[in-house]
Amino acid sequence: MSAPSVHVTGIGLALPGVTRAADLLRAAPGADAVSPAERIGRKGLRYKDRATQLALAAARDALREARLITEESETCALGASTAVVASSNLGNLDTVCRTAAEIAEQSVDGISPMGLPNASSNVVASSVAIRFALRGPNLMLCNGVTSGLDALRWGASLIASGRAARTVVIGVETRNEVTDALTGHAGPDVLDGAVAVVLERAVDARERGVVPLAELGAYTRGGSVAECVAALLPDDTGADVWFTPQGFDAELPVPATRGLARHDLSRNIGHASGALGVAQCAAAVGGFAGNDLGVALLTNGDDGSDAVAGLVLRAVRDAA
């Protein structure tokens, strides 16, 4: 007997110029930056780095949509069985570099004990867990271009294995002088934002009166885009839209994708790195809500990367 499928039941966005998942494909880089303090209040944000603040804003909205927290209380009543998986390749890089420079100049005596925890690679995932009382497994992925889809896979795996009943998956990246210098990407074409989704079994969501938004399908990793796509769409059919890897050539022929609408989401939200896969998931759900799409193919990484990851996402038409 196969394990129950995993569904998306909540989405939260902390992205410039975007308030709904349905708006993601109409967004354009260069909108005003998100102010986490205006979104969720200043309480609890002091000493938090920007990546963590953005993640907290997105996670709160995703948890609210999934009816796991309320406007009156941010404490998740089901927190004991709720995991957090965060994906970010550059999230607190500025904090790490600044801390290293301060130690080199002043020794450890010059380091603030309040700011030092932000140098932890797991600060985003752990901060979300602490704020919303989520006491399940807690993971931070910094896995290169495939990190966002890998995070969705790990979130679903925690549920399938019984380690958690639900998972909050977050993708977040920030833009600052450190990331600009070290990556070569700069300006509004770089994402400064976060996306969060809640994953769980449909039966658990419906017990709270929550209608599932989408169903996670097959996931794979391969050495090329064509290999990955062929594994997920073996019969050259089955998808309505393809969310391509970042910067992918829109005209490049790939077997099994003929006739598919292609979307490079980085054209809408900027270079998204470890947040791309989670943002693609949210954008696909936005398309499902408008009844424009039924099945979406999500891919991260290209033939020049060390790996390519792919995930199939399906609309839930009979959820009501």
The CA distance from 243 to 285, in Å, is 12
Tokens describing residue 6: 């995993």
Give me the domains of the chain, ranges plus CATH numbers.
Answer: 6-207 (3.40.47.10), 214-315 (no CATH)
The CA distance from 52 to 194, in Å, is 9
Are 138 and 81 within 8 A, CB to CB?
no
Residues in the chain: 320
Determine the pLDDT at residue 104. Answer: 82
Determine the pLDDT at residue 3. Answer: 64
Look at residue 319 and tell me whether its pLDDT is greater than 60: no
DSSP H helices, the chain, are 36-40, 50-65, 93-106, 123-132, 147-160, 177-183, 202-207, 225-232, 266-269, 276-289
The CA distance from 132 to 134, in Å, is 6
Enter the pTM of the model.
Answer: 0.92
Look at residue 2 and tell me whether its pLDDT is greater than 60: no
If you average pLDDT over every residue of the chain, what do you get? 90
Are 249 and 256 within 8 A, CB to CB?
no
- What are the tens digits of pLDDT across the range 22-42? 999 888 877 889 999 999 998
Are 281 and 119 within 8 A, CB to CB?
no
Look at residue 201 and tell me whether its pLDDT is greater than 90: yes
Tokens describing residue 217: 């399908």
Tokens describing residue 277: 């896969």
- What are the tens digits of pLDDT across the range 291-311? 767 999 999 999 989 999 999
Are 152 and 277 within 8 A, CB to CB?
yes
The CA distance from 39 to 64, in Å, is 13
- What are the tens digits of pLDDT across the range 52-75? 999 999 999 999 999 999 999 999
